[in-house]
Amino acid sequence: MINLVVGLIFILLLYSLLATTVMEIIASVFSMRGRNLERALGRLLFSSKDSPIFQEFTGNPLYQQIQSRFFRWQRPPSYMSNQTFSTILFKTLFTDKEGNPNVNIAEQIESIRNPKLRQALQHFHAESFNDTYVFRRKVETWYDEVMDRAGGWYKRNTQFILLVVGIFIAVIFNVDTIAIYDKLSKDPQAQLELLDLTNKYFADSKIAEMQASELGMDYQQQVNSLLTQNLQSIKDPVGMGWDGFSDAAMPNGLADWLYRILGWLTTALAVSLGAPFWFDLLKKLVNVRSSGSVPPVSNQIPPYEQIPTSYGLASRAVAQQIVHDIKQDEIKERPK
């Protein structure tokens, strides 16, 4: 059972890496992180992009310095520190006509025409007891809190993109998770071949020591090595790709096509969980498999509990069920 699950997860990891790379290219071309940052700034300033405050903020030299260029187009920055935000905000709101810092911040806040922004800054200023340093730290904390929520907006958007990309990958490469599982469950030799590829993958010390959070640092290099070395190798054992239809029958009838579409959708949903999730789970399962005999369940920390909650409850539930099934099989195989 564990060989089957490890092989299946290894396949999902490969295609998740491919999908994430495609998603990163899309995000870079369309400046999705920059647009998400601008959306968060709009929330912070309670202003639209056409408002004077927003225009003055984004026109600041510090802001323009961290922008990027795509051919002739100026693109918003993908990241801005809280210190940079507070510096630009203070320069925008709390300086006189000559550009010198305005000592009377309370009066300057009162002169802000935007009522929501004025009320928010009045609240932070009152909590700081007229201490400019404390007031600035509270503004920076406010920025960090909004950016945390902005990270959630971006994650939801990218997960939808991953789902769409996953559907295309599943169809183009004919990655039918249900059919792959059925094939592996009936072919122990295919399980061993995939297990061998998995072991070779984790034989690299850099990969073995890598954390799931580090997986996104260099997708291009990882995908080039993974896909060129492994995708072609796994096609034959599990029957993926469209080349196999020269030797195998095409789906026959509506029921067969619906069954295959369901397999493609299953692949797309799995891919949408992201490469870090599958990398983290696969690494734990490989460690479980290579650790030898399994201690009593009551004394063992379930690996799925160590999976970050940022992956979501559904992801943790999937991992929980997989590890639970493996434990039960290994317990049955212990010598009496």
Q: What is the SS3 assignment for the chain? A: CHHHHHHHHHHHHHHHHHHHHHHHHHHHHCCHHHHHHHHHHHHHHCCCCCCHHHHHHHCCHHHHHCCEEECCEEECCCCCCHHHHHHHHHHHHCECCCCCECCCHHHHHHCCCCHHHHHHHHHHHHHCCCCHHHHHHHHHHHHHHHHHHHHHHHHHHHHHHHHHHHHHHHHHCCCCHHHHHHHHHHCHHHHHHHHHHHHHHHHCHHHHHCCHHHHHHHHHHHHHHHHHHHHHHHHHHHCCCCHHHHCCCCCCHHHHHHHHHHHHHHHHHHHHCCHHHHHHHHHHHHHHHHCCCCCCHHHCCCHHHHCCHHHCHHHHHHHHHHHHHHHHHHHHHCCC
* pLDDT recorded at residue 196: 83
What is the predicted pLDDT for the residue at 285?
83
- What are the angstrom distances between the C-alpha of 13 and each of 3, 129, 274? 15, 53, 8
| pLDDT greater than 90 at residue 199 | no
Residue scoring higher pLDDT (186 or 232) = 186
Q: What mean pLDDT value characterizes the chain? A: 78
pTM of the model: 0.68
User: What is the reported pLDDT for 82?
Assistant: 93
pLDDT value at residue 293: 43
Q: Span 307-322, mean pLDDT?
A: 55
Q: What is the band of 104 on the pLDDT scale with cuts at 50, 70, 90? A: confident
Tokens representing 100 are: 């010198």
Question: Which among 11-25, 207-221, 289-303 has the top mean pLDDT?
Answer: 11-25
* pLDDT computed for residue 25 by the predictor: 86
Over residues 121-156, the pLDDT tens digits come to 999 999 998 888 999 999 999 999 999 999 888 888
62-78, pLDDT tens digit by residue? Answer: 999 888 877 777 888 98
Residue 74 pairs in a beta bridge with: 69
Q: How much of the chain exceeds pLDDT 90, in percent?
A: 24
**pLDDT reported for residue 336:** 53
pLDDT reading at 100 higher than 50: yes
Q: What is the mean pLDDT of residues 87-96?
A: 87
Name which residue leads in pLDDT, 193 or 335: 193
Domain ranges in the chain? 2-28+154-331, 31-149
- pLDDT at residue 333, as a whole number: 56
8 Å CB contact between 240 and 174 = yes
The pLDDT of residue 214 is: 60
Contact 2, 184 (CB under 8 A): no
Give the residue carrying structure tokens 């911040």.
105
Most confident of 180-184, 242-246, 286-290, 329-333: 180-184
Write down the pLDDT at residue 153: 87
- Tokens 């007229």 label which residue? 130
- Choice among 13-17, 78-82, 191-195, 313-317 with the minimum mean pLDDT: 313-317
Contact indicator for 30, 165 with CB cutoff of 8 Å: no
Average pLDDT over residues 101-112: 82
Look at the block and give the residue holding tokens 């297990």: 195
Reply yes or no on whether the pLDDT at 81 is more than 90.
Answer: yes
Place of tokens 């619906």: 258
In this model, does residue 234 exceed pLDDT 70? no
